[in-house]
Chain A
Amino acid sequence: MQERAIFAGFGGQGVMSMGKLLTYAGMIEGKEVSWLPSYGPEMRGGTANCHVTVSDAPIGSPIITNDATCLIAMNLPSLLKFESDVVAGGIIFVNSSLIDNKVSRDDVHAYYVPANEIANELGNLKVANMVMLGAYLKAMHPVKEGSVIETFHKLFTGAKEKLIPMNEEALKRGADCIVIA
């Protein structure tokens, strides 16, 4: 198994954190992982993205070009920019709260997740990324959900500990969006 995911959105949507959580959870499971962020001026208010690889075998290149198994697009520029980087048969997750467009390719599968709406229902727009991650984990299961929960407990400590229940709930609500036929 080798999962090569691109997480993309604008700054502040928590796309780096989504990638880090997946990477961390993969490490907990003893898998080979890498997380490669975009960096520099494009981070300042522009699009942010990270490339995450989770693999059973040692990882060659940590860069994902034209061979993403999946794309998580949190805003429209991200969908337009990275849509073509997904392999045929790959999966694209679209944040339908902010993206009206449909995926233009017919050789990939698309899931539309109203991440912002669900996050608002939960009372915190900031967990939109976790809604999306929940949907992604349910559909692709590159790591077990339990590993992600374990990661929450490792990363959210001290004052942040109280954020865990809401993040867990966000994962669950995202997962509920995915109906696998």
Chain B
Amino acid sequence: MAVVFQKTKGLTDKPFSYCPGCTHGIIHRLVAESLEELGLLDEVIGVAPVGCSVFAYEFFNCDMHEAAHGRAPAVATGIKRVYPDHPVFTYQGDGDLASIGTAEIVHVAHRGEKITTIFVNNAIYGMTGGQMAPTTLVGQKATTAPYGRDAAHCGNPLRVSEMLATIEGAVFVERVAVNTPANIRKAKKAIKKAFEVQLQGLGFGIVEVLSTCPTNWGLTPVESLEWLEKNMIPYYPLGNFKSPKEEK
């Protein structure tokens, strides 16, 4: 019988620890497939964050570091400076990257570190139980914003891709979503592209992936995909913010 689908070698056999309907699993697969297709699995060194994807080091089938909360870009910098010829990536959520780790992500871009960051934005703190993130939408309820996020009280949601795109050293910045098969295909393309930019030694690359959190959003998986489409994409527009010049 012909093989029509095969699990990527980029993932271990360890079952994911994510909630039903969570799109972390899809994003893991896209990253792992990209690494496999680019032939990088034997060389790549990844950095896992603190957040729902804290166990990413058990899922990606390559050398991994587990970093302190928000510090993955600094850890990745240490790795890349020791092994400039090895591909290095961080996989971080929005609490990790857009809150406690803002200094680290800004400066990894500022230095133009030749690493790739996969930034999973689900507009909430997942692992700790649905607290408000810098990316939580105005009016969106969270366990630390029980009446909904009030912009007058705690500001408007942070658009990380737009911010990082202003930094010289960030050469590839794209926001994608994994709510539809079409968007998933685009996401895969962007992730692969980000790794290619790293391999070409051009600078820092980041792919922001809009993701769901059915558990903490209090929605079914299908409702979550719809909620992402209706609420997140209008505020966090999809598209490429920056790409190396010759490619345009």
A/B contact in complex, CB under 8 angstroms: no
Which residues of A pack against B, CB within 8 Å? none
